[in-house]
Amino acid sequence: MSANSDSSDGTESLCAGPGTVIAFHYDLYNAQAEKIETSRNTSPVLCLQGERGVLLALQDAFVGRVAGDDFSTTIPHQNGYGRHYPERVQRIARKKIDAGKKQAFRTGQIITLRGDQGPSPATVVKVGKFNLDVDTNHPLAGVDLTFDVSIVSVRQASDEEIAHGHAHGAGGHQH
């Protein structure tokens, strides 16, 4: 596929593909059509095509798109954040987490657990007097996702962005 395509006004438009940076907005919905999040109240998200900053399945949907394209794509959980593993829901003594600080925890709160392999995020699913039930699955594990996307711009990635493995600028990584 060519990196450029003719637009209706006779100018060339860069198509999303390897070596490009895509600036986009999105609305994210679950399988029940409930909006989970949106980027539309902030700067566009930047994605260096082929790198790990954005779900690879979403990046696949960018290929061949140009600035101004609006589209929807549904990503099954297997291609998103994977399946939900019930064994990753566990009960932990509060004293192991808050070290006697008497922290106030709430259901849905994201906390950081410290383990042998370093810190890892967990979602509080139940708060008890002496224990917390936490889920160490990604919060969107097991969820089929629908993205409504608006591509704001597509440009060639700089050599520095390619070397660093991420897009630079607003919506990307700042240096």
Q: Which of 1-10, 112-121, 164-173 is the least confident region? A: 1-10
Q: How many other CB atoms are found less than 10 A from the CB of residue 82?
A: 13
The CATH number assigned to the domain with range 4-74+143-164 reads 3.10.50.40
Q: Which of 28, 136, 14 is nearest to 65 (CA)?
A: 14
Q: How many other CB atoms are found less than 10 A from the CB of residue 92?
A: 15
d(Cα 44, Cα 36) in Å, to the nearest integer? 17
d(Cα 95, Cα 113) in Å, to the nearest integer? 12
d(Cα 146, Cα 87) in Å, to the nearest integer? 27
3-state secondary structure of 87: helix
- Answer whether residue 78 shows pLDDT above 80: yes
More confident: 143 or 171: 143
pLDDT tens digit string along 94-136?
888 866 567 889 999 999 888 888 888 999 999 999 999 999 9
| Tokens standing for residue 43 | 């700067």
- Answer whether residue 57 shows pLDDT above 80: yes
Topology of domain 86-135, CATH: Thrombin, subunit H (2.40.10)
Alpha helix ranges (H) inside 1-71: 56-62
Cβ–Cβ < 8 Å for 70, 149: yes
Q: What angle do CA 115, 124, 144 make, to 5 degrees?
A: 100
Q: Which of 31, 148, 140 is nearest to 81 (CA)?
A: 140
pLDDT tens digit string along 134-156?
999 999 999 999 999 999 999 99
More confident: 9 or 19: 19
The one-character DSSP state at 44 is P
d(Cα 27, Cα 121) in Å, to the nearest integer? 24
The segment(s) of the chain belonging to CATH 3.10.50.40 are 4-74+143-164
- Answer whether residue 4 shows pLDDT above 50: no
The segment(s) of the chain belonging to CATH 2.40.10.330 are 86-135
The two most distant CA atoms of the chain are separated, in Å, by 68
